[in-house]
Amino acid sequence: MILANYINGVLQPPVAKVYLDNFCPATGEVYGKIPASTAADIDLAVAAAKEAFPKWSTMPAAKRSAILMKISEGINAQRDVLAEAESKDNGKPLWLAQKVDIPRARDNFAFYATAILHDTSETHDMGSAGFNYTLRKPIGVAACISPWNLPLYLFTWKIAPALASGNTVVAKPSEVTPATAYLLSQICIDAGLPPGVLNIVHGTGPDTGAALIGHPDVPVISFTGGTATGAAIAREAAPMFKKLSLELGGKNPNIIFADCDFDDMLQTTVQSSFANQGQICLCGSRIFVERPIYEKFKTAFVERVKQLKVGHPTAPDTKVGALVSQPHMEKVLSYVALAKAEGGTVLCGGEQIYPEGFENGYYVSPAVIEGLSFDCRTNQEEIFGPVVTITPFDTEEEVLAMANSTKYGLAATIWTENLKKAHRVAAAIDSGIIWINCWLVRDLRTPFGGMKQSGVGREGGFEALHFFTEAKNICVKL
């Protein structure tokens, strides 16, 4: 499959006619070509978005909403094709793409298509002196840049609120997983999205992404990816005073108290550790277990993890598919080696494996490691793969200090049946998102994002809609 850019309503090749290889992680084979777009393509896309902005931004909300709902319906109609493309491009189990990624992409558009029908703005009454009201105006051409782990899910999580609030968009998916973004282009054409309102440009971060970030006609940027990339984007954008939303990395604690519902905790902790091969920014990679149940947990957890079937993404019994790329697999394996060098004991997994018939794919068995100090590199740096550490603790103060010891603050999970303790610990953890006795239970209305170096700003609900607007106060004297 040779992918094309979607610019000004038309699928077109990159200006320079240069392409990159697209790899299938399950087999290691090249199966497609991706435009290696340059600043010339970004210039075309931004010009198209700029031209489309006046009409789109002043279109009645109900009309914009109807077009966005058609895109949602288009995603739903194409859900099987999209799920297969996502699984092939990313290496994730097909059932996961069918159950989570594609339904969520559909829901992102439906959620923001309807949210704009219910949004309101504030008035501030000053009594006899007068009053203020707030107008929220779309900003202009928004840049949306997303990573490879949940490709269409995260791509649409940005594009939908940006478009719904009246901006036009130039979006760049990760070059590692471009397939579903490409398929979305045709869905948008079929839904009647006016030309230029959404433009999807493929290519690498340092070339295509950087050209988009630096473009003078792009005043607002929504980025999800690694913390180092976020820092580079912030450096570039700051002198141009661009508005930024950054959703970055995590090193999330999963805190298990002895009084938890053990079976429920165990089942969910297997998922929160290894879902999507551990490549979810919300996965709990540092598991802290209260000492009285540490040995019981360790035995039961390792036994369950060993049972997880690692294999080809389309096999229905596969629980852990392929990692997204060879370089990423090498990075994950290097962290397992680092953990050993730091004195850790690998209780299971952490090895490259070679399923029969797919020996060149990027498969790593899920790893559980113990015996590491909370402040070693393995416990401080984001691995973003199927690797977790387990660490015992004795007191609430101790576990809070360990949980809060990293530079990240994205998500945390707490397991306890003690209500007071749950709320006390939740309030004390430096994370933007806390789950108590559950994990990855999502309500799209809630604020989503991280503290510290996990990000700047919040997505979700009206937070995202408002991010893509400028608030303007109008003061009226009576």
Minimum distance of ligand NDP from residue 77's CB (angstroms): 27
Smallest distance from the beta carbon of 204 to ligand NDP, in angstroms? 5
Residue 342 falls in the annotated catalytic set: no
Q: Is residue 283 among the annotated active site residues?
A: no
The one catalytic residue among 84, 281, 283, 459: 281
From the list 393, 315, 323, the residue with the least C-alpha distance to 357 is 315
The DSSP H or E segment spanning 410 is: none
- Site map (CB under 6 A) of ligand NDP, residues 200-219, x = contact: ----xxx--xx--x------
Least distance (Å) from ligand NDP to the CB of residue 86?
Answer: 15
Burial class (CB in 10 A: 0-12, 13-18, 19+), 395: exposed
Binding residues for ligand NDP, total number by CB under 6 A? 33
460: left (phi over 0), alpha (psi -120 to 50) or beta: left
CB 157 within 8 A of CB 108: yes
Is the CB of residue 155 less than 8 Å from the CB of residue 173?
yes
Residue nearest ligand NDP by beta-carbon distance = 205
Q: Is 32 in the site for ligand NDP (CB under 6 A)?
A: no
Q: Scanning residues 164 to 183, which ones bind ligand NDP (CB under 6 A)? A: 172, 174-176
| Chain Cα centroid distance, residue 171 | 15
Closest approach of Cβ 407 to ligand NDP, in Å?
A: 12
Q: Which of 84, 86, 175, 247 is catalytic?
A: 247
By beta-carbon proximity to ligand NDP, the closer residue of 102 and 176 is 176
CB 132 within 8 A of CB 473: yes
User: Of 280, 278, 322, 272, which is closest to residue 301 (Cα–Cα)?
Assistant: 272
Give the whole-angstrom CA distance, residue 316 versus residue 334: 30
Binding mask 229-268 toward ligand NDP (x if CB under 6 A, else -) reads x--xx-------------xxxx------------------
The C-alpha atoms of residue 407 and residue 70 are separated, in whole angstroms, by 41
Among 31, 36, 169, 154, residue whose Cα is nearest residue 101: 154
- Least distance in angstroms from the C-beta of 413 to ligand NDP: 16
Q: What is the DSSP pairing of strand 130-138 with strand 469-477?
A: antiparallel
Q: Is 450 an interacting residue with respect to ligand NDP (CB under 6 A)?
A: yes
Closest to ligand NDP by CB, 135 or 231:
231
Measured from the CB atom, the residue of 246 and 368 that comes closer to ligand NDP is 246
* Alpha-carbon span 201 to 35, nearest angstrom: 8
Examine residue 318 and tell whether it contacts ligand NDP (CB under 6 A): no
- Give the whole-angstrom CA distance, residue 187 versus residue 330: 36
Contact residues for ligand NDP, defined by CB under 6 A:
145-149, 154, 172, 174-176, 204-206, 209-210, 213, 224-226, 229, 232-233, 247-250, 281, 382, 384, 410, 450, 454-455
Residues noted as catalytic: 247, 281
